[in-house]
Amino acid sequence: MERTCWEELDFQYQEPSSEYIEEELAKIEEQLREFCALIDIEFEKLRVNAKTLKDIIIRLDMRGLYFHIYHKKMEANEYKRNIGLLVFWILKLRPFWIDIQQEDSDEQIELATYINEKICLHIILSLLREYNSNFFEYGKDLVKAYVNELEYSLRYRDLSKESMFLLFDPFYYLYFYNQSTQEDGTTII
Amino acid sequence: MGERKAMFNMNMEMVRKQCNAGFMHCDNNTPIVRGETLEPCIRGAKKISADPNLKKLIKEVLTGSDK
């Protein structure tokens, strides 16, 4: 029996408007400026393929549509969207680079080589600072060890979108736990 | 061809009962703040930069100067 019901559908995906694309590009630029200021590199040294960034914005929009249709109008939470999707696509499509110069130090060459991973790490850490700030109170050594392991995983391990959804789910639930816990340790729920 | 009477060692009534049972599972973790995209990361990035100790820690890890 043929699946003829789909023939009745008259839906074609529409890309977001150019205004939306440019708004999202501006947000990415703002995040990158924070990144460059943090690690003391000139923003002008960071090169970007804008077409690839537009492609990434569209991929996120498409997945948003998928969630809306197949998961009952669900809107992805911040961890799914910015880590599971945005970080995933940056690692896959690698829109950023830094030209390596003859006089560059080993550290500068390292930074240029891992630039996409480091930008992704900054996105992840920024989100954790916003919603899970107590993560950074677990001790400097522990935080460094976790972040170094995460950077290795971003570079060399097979990380699907869904595995990253799952990896950062605990942080999402911890946010609500911290919001709901009262002084005596009991939860509001 | 007549209507199928059985499948997988079950009668069709049982097959249809199982197919119609339950509901479709969905993901439904809603955002902490609706309608935002990269905004929480930008806010978090500014907070990192505004905290000297945290800025030093994150800079060390990102630049590899702690290795």
Which ipTM did the prediction report? 0.90
From the CA of B54, how many Å to the nearest CA of chain A?
A: 8
Closest residue of chain B to A37, computed from CA coordinates: B49
Instruction: Find out whether A40 and B49 touch, Cβ atoms under 8 Å.
Output: no
Residue A125's pLDDT is what? 97
Residue A4's pLDDT is what? 72
pTM (two decimals): 0.91
Residue A118's pLDDT is what? 97
Instruction: Find out whether B63 and A111 touch, Cβ atoms under 8 Å.
Output: yes
State the Cα–Cα distance between residues A82 and A121, nearest whole angstrom. Answer: 11
Instruction: Find out whether A164 and A81 touch, Cβ atoms under 8 Å.
Output: no
pLDDT confidence tier of residue B1, bands split at 50, 70 and 90:
low
Residue A2's pLDDT is what? 67
* A67–B27 CB contact, under 8 Å: yes
* A75–B49 CB contact, under 8 Å: no
Of B39, B58, B64, which has the smallest distance from its Cβ to A107's Cβ?
B64
The ranges of chain A with pLDDT < 50 are none
Q: Which residues contact B32 (CB under 8 A, 6 or more apart)?
A: A77, A78, A131, A172, A175, B40
